[in-house]
Amino acid sequence: MARREALARRPSIHDVASHAGVSAATVSKVMHGVATVRPENVRRVFSAVETLGYRADPLASDLRREKRRIIGAIVPEFESEFFGLLITELERLAEARGYALVASSARETQEREGQIVQRLHDWRVSGVVLAPVRDEHGPGATFMRDNAMTGVLLDRGLAVASLDRVAVDSAGASAKSARTLLGLGHRHILVLGLGEQAATVRARLDGFRRAAQEIEQQTRIDVISCERELDALRRSVTAYFDRGERPTAVYALFSRGALVALSEFRRRGWKCPEDISLVSFDDAEWMQVTWPSIAAIVQPVRAMAEQAMAILFDRIEGAKGRPVARLEPCFVNMRESVGPPRSGSRPGVIPPGNSPPLPTFDPAALGAPAADKFTGGEKP
């Protein structure tokens, strides 16, 4: 009976020390990789650990520390391939340093973002990687600043007074796409966005628009966006084309926007790039295997994660100094979905360069939610 109870009880560090014939302090040093322990004692400790099935109690260890060996990661949503890959990389890097990663989704709401950051603060995590729902002025980043939390802003937001930041050059990558499309002869382009209040989305749109206008001021850029609902964007795109609008190219500011556009093309029997070209900001596996493969701006997910975690661990280990800002370049991969526009006019198409500005279009008039927005012929 006593033996059964002993087996059921979780072995302690003192059990390991007794079995190995060393002190509990020596066991602790071995488990934490301290190099000054004699090799013979190291072997005895590891042998005892294996025999007893000992596992360190992280809660007991954390109670003796000011912070727990936990890294919190908050992203706007888990549905996109980009954020899924990002969390995978962050977890890999955290575990390589002996930390656990706790990942949460803000579900594209600032209120939930703030609540999760507060929860992580209560848990006394060692550090936080935050991809804000909108930007650095949201409740998450604000709470981190006000409470002197160790953290890094990732993807969305600008460098702020007390937080480091790692992002990609969204504006520069969008400008490259604009120059490619206009270089092929496109002068009427539809841009699709979701969550235009997010800093990265604004940067992508502004970078594209600015580059296009620098090349040809008469370029017509129509924008359809809505804050959160993909179905609302889908209905607005359908309404746009039902009105007879015929841009020669579509630039989606996010990967699921490209899927919305491609679905609409196929429903209408249009082919890429013969009838209309398509470019997406952010890549996804389905874009590479579909036909035609979809042109995309590829974000350096691994480089972003490595930069963010390197900065974060430097801060955890006591590094001081001004906030660090890292801007990673993107790779623009123009695949089969992009080509020159058809020569001559097609039914419903205004010849490039002769497009008059459109009045603001209200999607609610066609039954779409009021959160949707369409602007025609916008100029910066």
- What is the SS3 string spanning 314-363? HHHCCCCCCCCEEEECCEEECCCCCCCCCCCCCCCCCCCCCCCCCCCECH
pLDDT of the residue at 226: 82
| Phi-psi region at 117: left, alpha or beta (left = phi > 0; alpha = psi -120 to 50) | alpha
Label residue 8 by pLDDT band (50, 70, 90).
low
Q: 132, 126, 65, 76: which is closest to 101 by C-alpha?
A: 126
Tell me the β-bridge partners of 102. Answer: 72
Please give the residue that has the higher pLDDT: either 165 or 135: 165
- Token look-up 């001559």 returns 344
Mean pLDDT within 308-326: 93
173 near 281, Cβ under 8 Å?
Answer: yes
225 near 194, Cβ under 8 Å?
Answer: yes
pLDDT of the residue at 11: 87
Asked whether the predicted pLDDT for residue 360 surpasses 50, the reply is: no
Asked whether the predicted pLDDT for residue 1 surpasses 60, the reply is: no
Q: Give the whole-angstrom CA distance, residue 282 versus residue 278.
A: 13
Q: 140, 69, 141: which is closest to 317 by C-alpha?
A: 69
CA angle, residues 57, 128, 170, in degrees to nearest 5: 145
Q: Give the whole-angstrom CA distance, residue 152 versus residue 164.
A: 5
Token output for 311 = 């900065």
Please give the residue that has the higher pLDDT: either 6 or 49: 49
DSSP class of residue 163 equals: B
Please give the residue that has the higher pLDDT: either 321 or 62: 321
Mean pLDDT within 119-132: 95
Cis peptide before 323 (omega within 30 of 0): no
Label residue 361 by pLDDT band (50, 70, 90).
very low
324 near 105, Cβ under 8 Å?
Answer: no
Q: Give the whole-angstrom CA distance, residue 335 versus residue 252.
A: 15
pLDDT of the residue at 156: 67
DSSP class of residue 105 equals: E
Mean pLDDT within 238-248: 97
| Ranges 13-22, 49-58, 128-137, 294-303: which has the least confidence | 49-58
Percentage with pLDDT > 90 across the chain? 66
Mean pLDDT, all residues of the chain: 85
Query: DSSP per residue over 6-20, as a string?
Result: HHHSPPPHHHHHHHH
Mean pLDDT within 245-249: 97
Label residue 200 by pLDDT band (50, 70, 90).
confident
Asked whether the predicted pLDDT for residue 374 surpasses 50, the reply is: no
| Ranges 20-29, 211-220, 370-379: which has the least confidence | 370-379
DSSP class of residue 299 equals: P
- Token look-up 């002993």 returns 6
Q: Give the whole-angstrom CA distance, residue 126 versus residue 365.
A: 51
301-316 and 81-96 helices cross at what angle (nearest 10)?
A: 40
Percentage with pLDDT > 70 across the chain? 82
Asked whether the predicted pLDDT for residue 345 surpasses 90, the reply is: no
| Ranges 5-9, 261-265, 355-359: which has the least confidence | 355-359
| Ranges 132-141, 193-202, 370-379: which has the least confidence | 370-379
pLDDT of the residue at 170: 92
Asked whether the predicted pLDDT for residue 355 surpasses 90, the reply is: no
Q: Element (H or E) spanning 78, and its range?
A: none
Q: Cite the DSSP H helix spans in 123-246.
A: 139-146, 170-183, 199-215, 230-242
Mean pLDDT within 253-269: 95
Asked whether the predicted pLDDT for residue 150 surpasses 50, the reply is: yes
pTM for the whole structure: 0.72
Please count the CA atoms within 13 angstroms of the CA of 372 that sit on its side-chain side: 24
